[in-house]
Structure 1
Amino acid sequence: MTAAALPLLVALGVWQLQRAEWKEGLLAELRANAALPVAALGPGDELERVQFRRVRLVLGCDPPPPTVKAGRNAAGRAGYVALVRCTREGAASRGDGLLLAIGWGERPDSWKAVRAWPPRDPRPVEGVLVGRDGSPAWMLVASTGAAPLEAAAPPALESIPNNHRAYAAQWFGFAAILAAIYGAYVVRWRRGG
């Protein structure tokens, strides 16, 4: 069992080191995107390549009520962010949609004071594009809040975990412990104990 488990543990450690290199490259790309000027995207443009970049998309959005979640404003104050489901111009289906963070308020019902709701018919919206877990897979954090809401803060690059090196150390540690236990077993076995 040790002969089978030891190479597997080492392989998992090497795999995590490879993932760490991939994640560092991805974070460098996202950091570079954040420094680029606004990109106007058309219906067929890929969102993956412009993640964390300021973009302009043509969106049509659902009417209220929005989804409300805890979040921060651009100044870092805690409160609530209103999210509406929108569809990109030219999208084949609703599955091609994204969430639009229309703004931040101190209270969960702050969105009720919004005077001009994002329209159902497609209009240009500018903001920072970020990927998210779940459906839809994308969120656009609007550059300006829908009055009287303030602009919400987009997720920071620092919030993306990069703990693959720690995982690699863990797998290599498991391999070292297994080797030490097996070595102690062999020594004891040879002594007749």
Structure 2
Amino acid sequence: MSAASTEPAPRRRKSPLRKLLPAALVVLVAFGILVGLGTWQLERLAWKQDLVAKVEARIHEPAQAAPAEADWPEINFEDHEYRHVAAQGRFRHDLEVQVYALVDAGPDGSGGPGYWVVTPLVMADGATILINRGFVPLDHRSPSSRPEGQVDGLVTVTGLLRMPEDSSMFTPENEPAKDSWFSRDPLAIAGAKGMLRTAPFLIDADATPNPGGLPVGGLTRIAFPNRHLEYALTWYGLAATLLAVFAAYAWGRLRRG
């Protein structure tokens, strides 16, 4: 009798297309994510263009009365930022704070470091709005160096409504205990100064000159970073590159069998 054969049966080779399937699925998922990110940036572009158009219209409208205290909870960035407003009251110069700033155009036209002078304006009903009265250079931080600007009596301030300033990763933290400020946060300032009934926004005063020339108002920078189209093209470009690389890889695999 002949011995039974013990040789294993030959293994069936996977087709090249089946070998490419796992990589193709990964590429498909990554492609969908990249295209989704690009589309999201285009949606952000449309939102930003609409916001810029609204702001451009707001800053040229006649000044309206600043929002009343009853309306403060409804104030938000999209609907109220940069609205042209006016408020009447008396300054509390004893509660002034100085917020470090780096501006493009300083009092002498050169720009540079200095401070925003932020002063509470107490209105007839007792509510308070913080006013960014304008910029002073470093050597005029102390109110005693600009006594003419400590305006007394009833005043009317006209300017642009501003929401609290967002801090970036490069902005130092405010230190209320040291009266050291790097971002304009009206409620934090109010809390540090013991002020109640303070608006959750500020008013950037316009360029109406202050006695003595300081602070210098009207330096609000109206700018919205808008690189959404660039980002969208980048994501779409990466998606196209991913497909091209995979196509080249797949073609090479298929040719080799």
Question: Which TM class, normalised by the smaller chain length?
Answer: 0.7 to 0.9
Contact 1:101 1:152 in 2 (8 A): no
Deviation at 1:142, TM superposition (A): 1.2
Query: What's the secondary structure of 2:82's corresponding residue?
Result: coil
1:104 corresponding residue in structure 2: 135
Q: Is 1:28 matched up with 2:53?
A: yes
When you count helix as a share of all residues, which structure comes out higher? 2
1:1-193 to 2 correspondences below 5 Å: 1-41=26-66, 42-45=68-71, 46=75, 48=77, 49-57=79-87, 63-71=95-103, 72-73=105-106, 77-79=110-112, 80-84=114-118, 86=120, 100-105=131-136, 107-112=137-142, 113-115=145-147, 116-117=149-150, 124-131=156-163, 132-134=165-167, 136=185, 138-143=201-206, 144=208, 146-148=210-212, 149=214, 150-156=216-222, 159-192=223-256
Contact 1:43 1:88 in 2 (8 A): no
Distance in 1 (alpha carbons) for counterparts of 2:111 and 2:88 = 29
Aligned CA RMSD, in angstroms, stands at 3.3
Query: What's the secondary structure of 2:244's corresponding residue?
Result: helix
Q: Deviations over 1:69-102 (max 9, x none)?
A: 222358954143423264886899xxx975x322
Deviation at 1:191, TM superposition (A): 1.2
Unaligned 5+ runs, structure 2: 1-25, 168-183, 187-200
Deviation at 1:110, TM superposition (A): 1.6
Change (3 A) 1:176 1:88: farther
Deviation at 1:53, TM superposition (A): 2.8
Contact 1:39 1:54 in 2 (8 A): yes
Contact 2:82 2:161 in 1 (8 A): yes
Change (3 A) 1:87 1:5: farther
Distance in 2 (alpha carbons) for counterparts of 1:78 and 1:145 = 18
Deviation at 1:52, TM superposition (A): 1.9
Question: Which structure has the bigger radius of gyration?
Answer: 2
Question: What TM-score, normalized by structure 2, do the two folds share?
Answer: 0.60
Change (3 A) 1:118 1:140: farther
Question: What TM-score, normalized by structure 1, do the two folds share?
Answer: 0.77
Query: What's the secondary structure of 2:41's corresponding residue?
Result: helix
Distance in 2 (alpha carbons) for counterparts of 1:26 and 1:64 = 32
Deviation at 1:125, TM superposition (A): 2.8
Matching residue's letter, 2:117: L
